[in-house]
């Protein structure tokens, strides 16, 4: 190990492993149904979909669906966003009075215009004193009841990389753990994540730092563990397509090899189970509304799936469980094992330079070195 990873479990008692794997909070994705699936498949810690502090204060009952947690999902945090420290603190207190999360997470990283336009998410990276005020307001309101954590990006754009300053301010305000997504707000989800900056912050902070961005294979998890000082990794978009990544990464860390090839039928079965669970929960309403919501989930699951290319336009319009079952029944049941065996480990999205170092030639728009991984 190049660096000594600081165990997150040392300062966060709800974490039971030395290098935890987190499921990233994703609006419209990490609902209770998907969290159940990821928990079964090996994730260590989860965070709810983010919820607005103003929404909590003005329409608590309507927004409770975003904060509802189950004991089977623990450890789990509830993520808030907002730009007023007092309102954020009050919203955190309301949540603690009604729910029992293991921690409160503050969203300083969301890049979408809808959130940024309300002066939330990554917009606070342009105003670090305000960011510190918001963090301090939540920490003060919560007191010693549970830890408060935060998620940031490395800056607003490449001209204002501020991750180190933001981390120091957050630590000074009493934040117990910081997750860093290695892109700027201006990048959104394009380009590559800058793991040099994440690593520098992890080595400089006293609190655990969790790395996020471009972790799409078990090999990438192992690379980060061995070559950076982060205390764990957070996985988002890769889990949407392959929620098995958590268990596969643990297998790879333990054995140094990928687990046996997975039959595509397992993914087909999971798609059907996910849809049935969503219908039974009525989390999204009746069958039509549920299946409309499931369309994006189904397309994520079937991305790159053998034989699915011709089906994807039809899957994108599926409107009933019966229709979904019928469409999936036409997909090939098994992938050629010979083809699977011939594929080198991590071929789809492993470290860009094998298991070795990072790219040595930064792009003109990104003055720092980039993440050593490919993928989403």
- What was the pLDDT predicted at 6? 65
Residue with the larger pLDDT of the pair 355 and 326: 326
Catalytic residue chosen out of the listed positions 110, 162, 167, 201: 110
306-325 tens-digit pLDDT: 766 778 889 999 999 999 99
Residue 246: CB partners within 8 Å, gap ≥ 6? Answer: 21, 23, 38, 41, 42, 43, 44, 235, 239
Determine which helix (DSSP H) or strand (DSSP E) holds 47, and give its type and residue range. Answer: strand 45-47
The predicted model gives 159-172 an average pLDDT of: 97
The per-residue pLDDT for 332 is: 62
Q: What is the mean pLDDT of residues 336-347?
A: 37
pLDDT of residue 292: 96
Of 46-50, 67-71, 107-111, 341-345, least confident by mean pLDDT is 341-345
Q: What is the pLDDT of residue 277?
A: 97
Comparison of pLDDT for 372 and 364, the residue scoring more = 372
pLDDT at 249 over 70: yes
Is residue 338 over pLDDT 80? Answer: no
Give yes or no for residue 355 having a pLDDT over 70.
Answer: no
The pLDDT value given to residue 358: 39
pLDDT tens, residue by residue, 129-148: 999 999 999 999 999 999 99
Look at 10-19, 90-99, 279-288 and tell me which has the smallest mean pLDDT: 10-19
CB distance 210 to 230 below 8 Å: yes
pLDDT of residue 52 exceeding 90, the answer is yes
Is this model's pTM higher than 0.75 or not?
A: yes
Q: What mean pLDDT is reported for the chain?
A: 87
Q: Does residue 373 register a pLDDT over 70? A: no
Helices (H), the chain: 32-40, 53-58, 60-67, 85-98, 113-116, 128-142, 163-172, 195-204, 218-227, 237-241, 245-255, 264-281, 287-301, 312-315, 321-328, 337-342
Give the single-character DSSP code of 228. Answer: S
Active site residue 167: no
Distance from chain centroid for Cα 160: 24
Confidence at residue 63, expressed as pLDDT on a 0 to 100 scale: 85
SS3 (DSSP) at 157: coil
340 vs 344: CA distance, rounded Å: 9
SS (H, E, C) 176-224: CEEEEEEEECCCCCCCCCCHHHHHHHHHHCCCCEEEECCCCCHHHHHHH
Tell which CATH classification among 3.20.20.70, 3.40.50.1820, 1.10.3720.10, 3.40.50.1980 matches the domain 16-255. 3.20.20.70
Mean of pLDDT values over 269-294: 96
pLDDT tens digits for range 213-240: 999 999 999 999 999 999 999 999 999 9
What is the mean pLDDT of the segment spanning 294-301?
A: 95
pLDDT in tens, 67-98: 889 999 999 999 999 999 999 999 999 999 99
Residue 3 has pLDDT above 60, yes or no: no
How many whole angstroms separate alpha carbon 70 and alpha carbon 13?
19
Instruction: Work out the percent of the chain whose per-residue pLDDT is above 90.
Output: 72
> Which residue would you say has higher pLDDT here, 79 or 119?
79
Asked whether the predicted pLDDT for residue 334 surpasses 90, the reply is no
Q: What is the pLDDT, as a whole number, of residue 25?
A: 95
Q: Which residue has the higher pLDDT, 307 or 346?
A: 307
């Amino acid at each position: 190990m190049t660096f000594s990873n600081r165990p997150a479990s040392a300062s966060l008692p709800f974490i039971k492993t030395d290098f935890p794997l987190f499921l990233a909070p994703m609006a419209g994705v990490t609902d209770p149904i998907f969290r159940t699936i990821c928990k079964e498949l090996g994730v260590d810690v989860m965070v709810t979909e983010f919820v607005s502090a103003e929404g909590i204060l003005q329409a608590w009952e309507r927004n409770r669906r975003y904060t509802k947690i189950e004991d089977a999902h623990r450890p789990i945090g509830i993520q808030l966003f907002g730009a007023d420290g007092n309102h954020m603190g009050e919203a955190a207190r309301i949540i603690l009075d009604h729910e029992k999360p293991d921690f409160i997470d503050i969203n300083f990283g969301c890049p979408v215009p809808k959130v940024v336009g309300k002066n939330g998410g990554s917009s606070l990276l342009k105003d670090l004193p305000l960011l510190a005020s918001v963090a301090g307001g939540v920490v003060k309101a919560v007191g010693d009841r549970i830890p408060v954590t935060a998620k940031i990006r490395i800056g607003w754009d490449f001209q204002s990389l501020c991750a180190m300053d933001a981390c120091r301010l957050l630590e000074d305000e009493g934040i117990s753990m910081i997750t860093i997504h290695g892109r700027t707000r201006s990048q959104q989800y394009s380009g590559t994540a800058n793991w040099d900056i994440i690593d520098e912050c992890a080595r400089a902070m006293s609190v655990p730092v969790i790395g996020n961005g471009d972790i799409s294979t078990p090999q990438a998890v192992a690379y980060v563990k061995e070559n950076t000082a982060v205390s764990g990794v957070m996985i988002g978009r890769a889990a949407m397509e392959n929620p098995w990544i958590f268990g596969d990464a643990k297998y790879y860390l333990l054995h140094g090899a990928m687990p046996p090839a997975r039959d595509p039928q397992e993914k087909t079965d999971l798609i059907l189970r996910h849809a049935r669970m969503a219908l039974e929960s009525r989390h999204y309403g009746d069958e039509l509304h549920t299946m409309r919501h499931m369309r994006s989930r189904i397309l994520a699951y079937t991305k790159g799936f053998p034989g699915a290319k011709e089906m994807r336009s039809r899957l994108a319009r599926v409107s009933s469980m019966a229709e979904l079952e019928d469409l999936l029944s036409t997909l090939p049941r098994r992938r050629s094992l010979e083809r699977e065996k011939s594929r080198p480990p991590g071929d789809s999205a492993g470290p860009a330079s094998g298991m070795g170092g990072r790219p040595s030639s930064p792009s003109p728009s990104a003055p720092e070195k980039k993440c050593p991984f490919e993928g989403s």
